[in-house]
């Protein structure tokens, strides 16, 4: 067996300085899981408070902090890094690359995210978390000190996110193995392309919106001061020009995971591959033209409302294409019900429920009732929990053996699946009705005798089921690291390139760059009776990047500068940016030619390419 | 074999969900005068019609998906130990065309009534009675410019006719929602939004704020009191009466003096003047204190003693801490306020 990237003795320094996409993926993934737990705990507090009418577990201000941080954490600090974790782990392997295009930038992107998330969360201990909702609408948000932490934290982590998006686009467009044409790329890689493009176009308006808030708070600017000619609806537009694509840039990689997993567990080629790619691109494209459907009640007038409403309904068409293609991938296949498969399969009906309520919301007239009620909460939790979170779990069980060389425990996995499925349906299904029965969202409590008591109680019970499922997952990970079953190279009889290399892969992934001769290249070679890929090059020295501590220090500089801005300390700002600037200078003048790994010591001839 | 049982259970669960969804459209529809599923006004009826139409179409879509899904799960489940390779299919152009075209048709079916209704709802009649709604953290002011009347928290309107609302906010963004009568509209600080309401039955309807506006957001309720035209006219006349009933007791009289000294700066009592805080004319006839607590002596005292506890982040100075009033004075104030009835 060749040396895997994990064989080196564990050292903290190694993890802090790594530029290996697999390790950065792992950092992203565990940071994401950590914040998923934090955001989950906040959700649990929310549900405990709403378990009974006029409950006094949390007061209005604390509840608003929990609610704001739940949304912010789950979207920016849990879902985003979890999906970046998968992209880092999987995309280079799926396109036959040895790393990403900019390994240094990759590390910098992670550490920027890490410090941004940390900065926002320290607000809990420094005078109160942001409490104006994850949308942070002006002028309400301007009243709270916590908003500074929201703005600066997202600004820093957002910069990291944009870097990572640029990195993935470059990687995918320039580093594909010979023969891996765009229309042979696996769906997860395709969805990474589209999601990265969405990030580049969506995070820029977010940066703009955050700057407006920051200038208003720090320098008393007048963007949202109506008396001085400001306009608060402007903020809503800028925010949602980011906010709607944000949802799609999270759900598209989830679609990608599901497409790959369903094809693998059905042992069948993805049905309608080309229309799947087209639908992915189309969803990304339409996603930029529907933002105002979050604002039907703002008073934009009937023309704007109906135009945006109908544009929104159109999203249902490519999404429908995807759903039917997934089902027709299973039809005629041999569907395996392992944990990854269960999550991927149950994704379909859960996501369909979230999708059809989305079309209902797009009818602007009906939305005058749905808007800002629990119906909306139910809708987007079916999309995010039933969709994105289930996809993350599916992807986790599916790729874990490749990344860590060990199989997650299937029994625990199945228990977790059922607990989670029951839990999230209990929690969110009833909330559709709560909305129609008149319960607004973001309320810290409600009066008795409005017909909402039982439904809220049921919803809270469901939240406990979900918590139990997540605890099982954590146990599963611990058990697997301690004494998990060793994974073979190709445990799922996979289709894509990552299954053609050892589990876990060597540091350089591919000893020799493979030639891609078809869609599902590894499956194709297997069907040709080959035990390994065809190669594009003879064995030779492999050029790999050097690890570096600079990205961490550089990101730490922005972290310091962030506090400088929050406490309007120019010393802090200059110190922070000074640290970042010095790091940039060192990085610029220092020649780093990387290192060469010699394949002689790797026994490539013997046994790297085990077949399943 | 164990797995196949689970598959059936999944299938059963989703069928159950669908049945539940269908039941709701006929059965459990929430509480009257609050639920959007028991419309009592023209606007709410149009909205509920679209809610029903979209729900039926989407239930149909969901049913098709679920049937195919269950079929795929049951029929194409891998038997234990079956390692055979199924036939690899690229796709099917006809099928793919079908599930692109049919959703487009469904969208047209939803879009046409949506457009029609959207324009009807936006068409606010010029000659209708006007009410200017002003949202504040965390209370509502209702002004009747045709009559020069201003009140707070309880919005009176006559049954039958369309009423034109002009909505605006004095501070942050709020949203005006009366589910049983006709949907919602934001109140922005920078522009006036318009909508109309038309109630088909008299009654007291629940109103809610539906845009996060601070710690008191959840408690920013109001009432829409729909009365007959005669009752409405009578109410307007009483509101226009500049006199309030003379305090009935010595204690209430003391309360009046305290009010004039400490509260009058922000609270008018004449039913026609605008003031910083809610106009107190007819306070004794309202249904709630602080917008959500039942109006009685105990709750009024509770509010006056510690407004921050009753409604966090509200803008009223604390009578005890900021205005230096003691408990006896608050009690007198309460007696005076509860005596502020319309006559």
Position A90 confidence tier, pLDDT thresholds 50, 70, 90: very high
A vs B, Cβ pairs < 8 A, gives 302
Residues B233 and B143 in one domain: yes
Instruction: Tell me how far CA of residue A5 lies from CA of A486, A492, A580, B196, B204, in angstroms.
Output: 16, 21, 30, 67, 69
Residue in B69, B75, B185 nearest the CB of A299: B185
Q: Is residue A356 scored above 60 in pLDDT?
A: yes
Asked, for residue B103, whether it belongs to a domain, the answer is yes
CB B230 within 8 A of CB B184: no
Identify the residue among B210, B287, B293, B308 best suited for mutation to test binding to A, counting A beta carbons within 10 A and taking the highest. B210
Percent of chain A with pLDDT over 70: 97
Query: Which residues of chain B register pLDDT less than 50?
Result: 1-3, 26
Between A267, A330, A438, which is nearest B72 by CB?
Answer: A330
B118 and B138 part of one domain: no
Residues B118 and B133 in one domain: no
B135 to chain A: which residues are within 8 Å by CB? Answer: none
Note whether B95 contacts A328, CB cutoff 8 Å.
yes
Backbone angles phi, psi at A595, to 5 degrees: -130, 160
Which residues does chain B have within 8 Å of residue A429's beta carbon, measured at their own beta carbons? 17, 20
B191, B222, B240 - which closes a domain: B240
Cis peptide before A139 (omega within 30 of 0): yes
A61 touches chain B (CB under 8 A): yes
Examine the domain organization and report whether B221 and B142 are in the same domain: yes
Which pLDDT belongs to residue A608? Answer: 46
Tell if the CB–CB gap between A233 and B78 is shorter than 8 Å: no
Interface of A with B in 82-121 (CB under 8 A): none
A 366-385 → B contacts, CB under 8 A: 366, 368-373
B54–A359 C-beta distance less than 8 A: yes
Statement to judge: residues B64 and B94 lie in one domain: yes
Residues B216 and B279 in one domain: no
Domain limits, chain A? 12-548+592-602
Instruction: Find residues 300-339 of chain A whose CB sits inside 8 Å of chain B.
Output: 301-302, 305-306, 309-310, 313-314, 316-317, 320-321, 323-325, 327-328, 330-337
Is A61 in Cβ contact with B312 (below 8 Å)?
yes
For residue B146, count other CB atoms closer than 10 A to its CB.
11
Could you give the CA distance from residue A110 to residue A96 in angstroms, rounded to a whole number? 23
> Is B199 within 8 Å of B205 (Cβ atoms)?
yes
How do residues A224-278 score in pLDDT, each as one tens digit?
A: 999 899 999 999 999 999 999 999 999 999 999 999 999 999 999 999 999 999 9
The range of the structural domain enclosing residue B274 comes to 250-338
Strands B162-169 and B193-198: antiparallel
Considering the segment(s) A12-548+592-602 as one domain, its CATH architecture is: Up-down Bundle (1.20)
pLDDT at residue A5, as a whole number: 86
Does B58 sit within 8 Å of A60, measured CB to CB?
A: no
Q: From the candidates B39, B83, B114, which should be mutated to test the interface with A, based on the most A CB atoms within 10 A?
A: B114
> For residue B154, is it within any domain?
yes
| Close Cβ partners of A197 (under 8 Å, ≥ 6 residues apart) | A165, A169, A284
Structure tokens at B55: 């729900």
pLDDT of B14: 61
Average pLDDT estimate for A326-349:
95
Mutate to test the interface with A, among B18, B46, B165, B218 (most CBs of A within 10 A): B218
Q: Distance between CA atoms of A172 and B315, rounded to whole angstroms?
A: 55
Residue of A nearest to B84 (CA): A334
Mark yes or no for CB contact A440/B208 under 8 Å: yes
For A66, residues 6+ apart whose C-beta sits below 8 A from its C-beta are A42, A45, A46, A49, A58, A129
pLDDT of residue A610: 40
Which domain-ending residue is among B191, B213, B240?
B240
Q: Share the mean pLDDT of chain A.
A: 94
Which of B51, B52, B59, B221 should be substituted to probe chain A, the one whose Cβ sees the most A Cβ atoms within 10 Å? B51
The Cα A457–Cα A449 span in angstroms is: 14
Report the chain A residue with the minimal C-alpha distance to residue B66: A349
Q: What is the pLDDT of residue A607?
A: 44
pLDDT band at A609 (very low <50, low <70, confident <90, very high): very low
Q: Determine the pLDDT at residue B97.
A: 93
Contacts (Cβ under 8 Å, ≥6 apart) of A58: A45, A49, A66, A444
- Taking only residues 571 to 610 of chain A, the set having a beta carbon closer than 8 angstroms to any beta carbon of chain B reads none
Whole-number pLDDT of residue A539: 86
Query: What CATH number is attached to the domain comprising B134?
Result: 2.60.40.420
ipTM value: 0.91
Chain B closest-CA separation from residue A232 CA (Å): 7
pLDDT 10s digits, B27-73: 578 899 999 999 999 999 999 999 999 999 999 999 999 999 999 99
- Flag if A337 and B77 touch (Cβ within 8 Å): yes
Same domain, B16 and B116: yes
Question: What's the pTM value of the predicted model, to 2 decimals?
Answer: 0.93
Q: Which tokens go with B168?
A: 């605006």
pLDDT digits (tens, 9 = 90+) for A403-428: 999 999 999 999 999 999 999 999 99
Q: Provide the b/e sequence for B226-252 (b: ≥16 CB within 10 Å).
A: bbeeeebeebbebbeeeebeebeeebb
- Name the percent of chain B lying above pLDDT 70: 92
Look at residue B84 and tell me if it is in a domain.
no
Q: Which tokens hold the place of B207?
A: 């109103």
Q: What is the mean pLDDT of residues A503-514?
A: 91
CB B291 within 8 A of CB B139: yes
Where residue B59 sits, what CATH number does that domain have? 1.10.287
Residues of B within 8 A of A60 (CB-CB) are: 214-219, 312-313
pLDDT of residue B272: 87
Quote the pLDDT of residue A603.
52
Spell out the alpha helix ranges (H) of A331-447: 339-362, 364-370, 374-381, 390-404, 410-436
Q: How many domains does chain B have?
A: 3
Q: Judge: B189–A131 Cβ closer than 8 Å, yes or no.
A: no
Tokens of B336: 């005076």
pLDDT in tens, A561-606: 999 999 999 999 999 999 999 999 999 999 888 888 876 455 544 4
Q: What DSSP element (H or E) covers A62?
A: helix A60-72
Instruction: Point out the least confidently predicted range of A144-148, A459-463, A545-549, B78-82.
Output: B78-82
């Amino acid at each position: 067996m060749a040396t895997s990237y994990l064989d080196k003795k564990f050292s903290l320094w190694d993890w802090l300085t790594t530029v290996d996409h697999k390790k950065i993926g792992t950092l992203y993934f565990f940071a994401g899981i950590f914040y998923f737990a934090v955001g989950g705990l906040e959700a649990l507090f929310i549900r405990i408070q709403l378990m009974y009418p006029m409950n006094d577990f949390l007061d209005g201000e604390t509840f608003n902090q929990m609610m704001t941080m739940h949304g912010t954490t789950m979207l920016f600090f849990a879902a985003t890094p979890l999906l970046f974790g998968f992209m880092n782990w999987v995309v280079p392997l799926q396109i036959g690359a040895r790393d990403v295009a900019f390994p240094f930038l990759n590390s910098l992107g992670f550490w920027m995210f890490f410090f941004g998330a940390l900065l926002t969360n320290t607000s809990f201990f420094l005078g109160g978390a942001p409490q104006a909702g994850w949308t942070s609408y002006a002028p309400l948000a301007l009243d709270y000190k916590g908003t500074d932490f929201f703005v600066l934290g997202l600004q820093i982590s957002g910069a990291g996110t944009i870097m990572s998006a640029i990195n993935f686009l470059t990687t995918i467009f320039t580093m594909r193995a010979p023969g891996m044409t765009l229309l042979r790329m696996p769906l997860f890689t395709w969805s990474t392309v589209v999601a990265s493009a969405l990030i580049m176009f969506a995070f820029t308006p977010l940066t703009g919106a955050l700057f407006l808030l920051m200038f208003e708070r720090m320098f008393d600017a007048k963007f949202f001061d109506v008396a001085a000619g400001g306009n608060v609806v402007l903020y809503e537009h800028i925010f949602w020009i980011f906010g709607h694509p944000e949802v799609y840039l999270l759900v598209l990689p989830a679609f990608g995971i599901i497409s790959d997993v369903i094809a693998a567990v059905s042992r069948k080629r993805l049905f309608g591959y080309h229309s799947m790619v087209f639908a992915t691109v189309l969803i990304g494209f339409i996603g930029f033209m529907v933002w105002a459907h979050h604002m039907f009640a703002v008073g934009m007038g009937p023309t704007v409302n109906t135009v945006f409403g109908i544009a929104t309904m159109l999203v249902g068409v490519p999404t429908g294409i995807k759903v039917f293609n997934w089902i027709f991938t299973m039809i005629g296949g041999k569907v395996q019900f392992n944990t990854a498969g269960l999550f991927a399969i149950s994704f379909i009906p859960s996501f369909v429920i979230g999708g059809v309520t989305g079309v209902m919301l797009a009818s602007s007239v009906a939305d005058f009732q749905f808007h800002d009620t629990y119906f909306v909460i139910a809708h987007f939790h079916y999309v995010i929990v039933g969709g994105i979170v289930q996809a993350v779990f599916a992807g986790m069980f599916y790729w874990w053996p490749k990344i860590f060389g060990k199989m997650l425990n299937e029994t625990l996995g199945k228990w977790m699946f059922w607990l989670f499925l029951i839990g999230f349906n209990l929690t969110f299904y009833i909330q559709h009705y709560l909305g129609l029965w008149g319960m607004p969202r973001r309320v810290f409590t409600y009066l008795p005798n409005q017909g909402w008591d039982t439904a809220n109680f049921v919803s809270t019970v469901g939240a406990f089921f979900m918590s139990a499922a997540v605890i099982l997952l954590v146990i599963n990970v611990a058990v697997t690291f301690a004494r998990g079953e060793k994974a073979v190279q190709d445990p799922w009889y996979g289709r894509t390139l990552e299954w053609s290399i050892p589990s876990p892969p060597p540091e350089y992934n591919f000893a020799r760059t493979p030639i891609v001769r078809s869609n599902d290249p590894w499956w194709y070679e297997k069907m040709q009776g080959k035990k390994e890929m065809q190669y594009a090059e003879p064995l030779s020295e492999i050029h790999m990047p050097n690890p570096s501590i600079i990205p961490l220090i550089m990101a730490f500089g922005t972290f310091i500068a962030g506090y400088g801005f929050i406490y309007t300390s120019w010393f802090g700002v200059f110190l922070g940016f000074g640290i970042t600037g010095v790091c940039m200078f060192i990085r610029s003048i220092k020649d780093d030619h990387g290192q060469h790994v010699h394949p002689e010591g790797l026994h490539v001839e013997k046994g790297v390419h085990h077949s399943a | 074999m164990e797995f196949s049982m689970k598959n059936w259970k999944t299938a059963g669960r989703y069928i159950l969900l669908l049945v539940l969804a269908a039941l709701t459209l006929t059965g459990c529809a929430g509480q009257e005068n609050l639920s959007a599923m028991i419309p009592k006004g023209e606007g709410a009826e149009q909205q509920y019609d679209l809610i029903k139409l979209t729900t039926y179409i989407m239930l149909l879509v969901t049913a098709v998906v679920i049937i195919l899904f269950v079929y795929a799960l049951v029929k194409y489940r891998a038997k234990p130990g079956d390692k055979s390779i199924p036939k690899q299919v690229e796709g099917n152009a006809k099928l793919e065309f079908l599930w692109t075209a049919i959703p487009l048709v469904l969208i047209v079916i939803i879009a046409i009534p949506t457009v029609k209704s959207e324009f009807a709802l936006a068409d606010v009649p010029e000659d209708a009675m006007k009410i200017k709604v002003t949202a504040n953290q965390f209370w509502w002011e209702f002004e009747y410019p045709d009559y020069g009347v201003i009140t707070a928290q309880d919005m009176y309107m006559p049954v039958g006719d369309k009423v034109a609302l002009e909505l605006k906010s004095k501070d942050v963004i709020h949203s005006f929602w009366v589910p049983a009568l006709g949907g919602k509209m934001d109140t922005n600080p920078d522009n006036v939004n318009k909508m109309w309401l038309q109630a088909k039955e008299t009654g007291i309807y629940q109103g809610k704020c539906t845009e996060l506006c601070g710690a008191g957001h959840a408690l920013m309720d109001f009432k829409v009191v729909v009365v007959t035209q005669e009752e409405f006219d009578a109410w307007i006349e009483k509101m226009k009466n500049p006199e309030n009933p003379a305090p009935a007791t010595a204690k209430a009289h003391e309360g009046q003096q305290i009010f004039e000294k400490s509260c009058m700066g922000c609270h008018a009592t004449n039913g026609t003047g605008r003031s910083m805080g809610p106009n107190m004319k007819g306070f004794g006839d309202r249904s709630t204190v602080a917008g959500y607590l039942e109006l009685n002596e105990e709750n009024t005292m509770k509010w006056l003693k510690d407004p921050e506890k009753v409604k966090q982040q509200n803008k009223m100075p604390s009578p005890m801490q900021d205005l230096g009033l003691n408990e006896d004075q608050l009690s007198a104030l309460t007696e005076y306020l509860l005596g502020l009835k319309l006559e």
